[in-house]
Amino acid sequence: MRAITLCGLAISLGFAATAADDVAGDYTAFGTDPHTKHPYSCKVEIKKTGDVYKIRWYFEGYDYGGVGVIKNGLLCVGYAADVGYGVAIYKIEGDGRLDGVFGLPGFKEKGTEKLCKE
């Protein structure tokens, strides 16, 4: 429910659709950890199942799974992490990149993440 609320907020702030709705594929993620402020990278797999996307982030030694939907050029994702559940919103860029922010319980700042298609 929080992912939907957060997605609604982003839509009301004026993010517009910039690309087709199909974001399925393999990506490399480049992000910043909100707790340590350290950069990271990992592999990400997005699979389409009907109107829903299954997302998996592959880090060295562990992985996270989530589910997302697209509305108005935004991929809105809820996922499970080692510190609890998180939410992410990615703006779908015209060049196939996904530009996002994410939040986790217990953290006061949001993290950032860009997904680049392989």
What domains, with CATH codes, occur in the chain? 2-17+25-117 (2.40.128.120)
Neighbours of 50 (CB within 10 A): 5
> For 11, phi and psi rounded to 5 degrees?
-65, -40
Summarised one tens digit per residue, pLDDT across range 6-22 is 444 444 444 443 345 68
Integer distance in angstroms from the first to the last C-alpha of the chain?
Answer: 31
Summarised one tens digit per residue, pLDDT across range 54-106 is 999 999 999 999 999 999 999 999 999 887 899 999 999 989 899 999 998 88
